[in-house]
């Protein structure tokens, strides 16, 4: 793409959906000399997921605000930055099996409703009517938010990057950040495999690799990689074309349409942390067992292929967004723990404002990287 300049106002490290959104929002606001440095290709990390869910169905108020803001931005994506990300607002349907989970969702639905999200609790029959693959005998109730859905993360990242470049940002791919140089506790330069760029502001948007970038600047970013896999059915033309994004809350098994296929996924409790992201098949028997309990017709569905990526986990499975307290002008937006696509537009807006010293639309202090040392985690129940 572009050549690495000798100096920049802001260096964004990472060209996934989060770094792309940050670059776009900075460039759109008129911040000069924004440079994105990406060691592979744009959306070559987790943001390369072929299709991703976007939802505001969280339990924590701040997560709901970030996600609602992002959903609104994805809804306007055709105008700004201008691309068809195939947003399909089929709704998220959380399938609930126990009275405890129903009570938990009743509480989070009340908070979502206060923030204008029209989530409601459905009976098993109503849930089955929306998602005919669901076994209504498998649940006590289900939580449904009609404005949630799915879209194309890689298309969104590419469009943000293109929009940022049209507004003057530079995007340097195949360029590995190797060192962040400090002088007197302040950012001085970023050294890369393509040379060095002098800069006074650095934003870490390196997803699962963020703790390495933080360490280069002496900032602790507690982000750990863990492989997560999805599988695609063979084409199933008879499947209803607009299934909700259906999640069995108890097992984390989920499914939704992906063109004429069904996408299936699940959190594998046996998965160890690490950077490996080859797709393998040993998780499929467990996936099929969970499918049998929730959506029996998917238990034996022929699968055609799969995809593996990395979740970027923090200790409380919530994002880190803010500015380091110890290193001046080192900012970060990372650790989204599997909901980075849901929150990337809002994260871009917030980092734009923190860079410019403007109060963001919401106070992100609770998401500071220091919260673990301070024993102040975020308590979010709707993590899958």
For 79, residues 6+ apart whose C-beta sits below 8 A from its C-beta are none
The interface region with ligand FAD, picked from 13-21, 87-95, 126-134, 324-332 by CB under 6 A, is: 13-21
Answer for which of 144, 311, 330, 332 binds ligand FAD (CB under 6 A) is 311
Question: Looking only at residues 186 through 215 of this chain, which bind ligand FAD when binding is defined by CB under 6 A?
Answer: 205-209
Q: Which residue has the tokens 């505001």?
A: 56
CB of 99 to ligand FAD, least distance (A): 28
Under the binding rule (CB under 6 A), the answer on residue 46 touching ligand FAD is yes
Of 35, 95, 131, 177, the one binding ligand FAD (CB under 6 A) is 177
Identify whether the C-beta of residue 313 lies closer than 8 Å to the C-beta of residue 334.
Answer: no
Q: How many residues interact with ligand FAD (rule CB under 6 A)?
A: 39
* 338 forms part of the interface with ligand FAD (CB under 6 A): yes
**Please, what is the minimum distance in Å from the beta carbon of residue 354 to ligand FAD?**
16
Residue 132: how many other CB atoms lie within 10 Å: 12
What is the nearest approach in angstroms of ligand FAD to the Cβ of residue 79?
22
Report the C-alpha gap between 235 and 254 in whole angstroms: 18
Cα separation, 378 vs 257, whole angstroms:
31
- Which one of 8, 10, 27, 45 is in contact with ligand FAD (CB under 6 A)? 45
Would you say 180 and 215 are in contact if contact means Cβ atoms under 8 Å apart?
no
Choose between 136 and 252: whose C-beta lies nearer to ligand FAD: 252
Contact in structure between 262 and 255 (CB atoms under 8 Å):
yes
User: Would you count residue 342 as binding ligand FAD (CB under 6 A)?
Assistant: yes
Q: Which stretch binds ligand FAD (CB under 6 A): 31-39, 73-81, 99-107, 132-140?
A: 31-39
Phi then psi for 277, rounded to 5 degrees? Answer: -140, 35
**Quick one: which of 4, 8, 11, 13 contacts ligand FAD (CB under 6 A)?**
13
352 binding ligand FAD? (CB under 6 A): no
Find the binder of ligand FAD among 149, 158, 340, 345 (CB under 6 A).
Answer: 340
Q: Which residues bind ligand FAD (CB under 6 A)?
A: 13-19, 37-40, 44-47, 49, 52-53, 153, 176-177, 205-209, 228, 230, 309-312, 334, 336, 338-342
């Amino acid at each position: 793409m572009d050549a690495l300049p000798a100096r920049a106002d802001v260096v964004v490290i990472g060209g996934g959906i989060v770094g792309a959104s940050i670059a776009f929002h900075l460039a759109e606001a008129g911040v000069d000399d924004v440079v994105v440095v990406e060691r592979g290709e744009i959306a070559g990390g987790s943001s390369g997921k072929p299709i991703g869910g976007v939802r505001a169905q969280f339990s924590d108020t701040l997560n709901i605000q970030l996600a609602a803001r992002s959903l609104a931005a994805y809804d306007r994506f055709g105008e700004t930055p201008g691309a068809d990300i195939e947003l399909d607002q089929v709704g998220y349907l959380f399938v609930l099996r126990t009275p405890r989970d129903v009570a938990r969702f009743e509480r989070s639905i009340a908070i979502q409703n206060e923030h204008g999200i029209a989530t409601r609790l459905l009976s098993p029959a109503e849930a089955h009517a929306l998602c005919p693959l669901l076994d209504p005998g498998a649940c006590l109730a289900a939580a449904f938010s009609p404005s949630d859905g799915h879209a194309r993360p890689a298309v969104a990242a590419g469009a943000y990057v293109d929009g940022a470049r049209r507004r003057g940002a530079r995007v340097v791919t195949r360029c590995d950040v190797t060192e962040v140089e400090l002088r007197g506790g302040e950012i001085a330069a970023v050294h890369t495999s393509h040379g060095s760029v002098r800069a006074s502001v650095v934003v870490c948007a390196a997803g699962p690799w963020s703790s390495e970038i933080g360490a280069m600047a002496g900032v602790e970013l507690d982000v750990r990689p863990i492989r997560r896999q999805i599988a695609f059915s063979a084409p199933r033309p008879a499947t209803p074309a607009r299934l909700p994004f259906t999640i069995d809350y108890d097992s984390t098994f989920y499914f939704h349409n992906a063109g004429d296929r069904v996408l299936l996924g699940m959190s594998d409790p046996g998965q160890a942390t690490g950077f490996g992201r080859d797709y393998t098949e040993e998780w499929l028997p467990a996936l099929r067992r969970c499918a049998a309990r929730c959506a029996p017709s998917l238990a034996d569905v022929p699968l055609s292929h799969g995809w593996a990526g990395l979740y970027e986990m923090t200790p409380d499975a919530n994002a880190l967004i803010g500015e380091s307290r110890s290193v001046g002008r080192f900012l970060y937006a990372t650790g989204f723990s599997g909901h980075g696509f849901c929150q990337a537009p809002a994260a871009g807006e917030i980092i734009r404002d923190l860079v410019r010293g403007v109060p963001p639309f919401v106070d992100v202090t609770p998401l500071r990287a220091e919260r673990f040392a301070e024993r102040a985690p975020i308590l979010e129940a709707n993590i899958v």
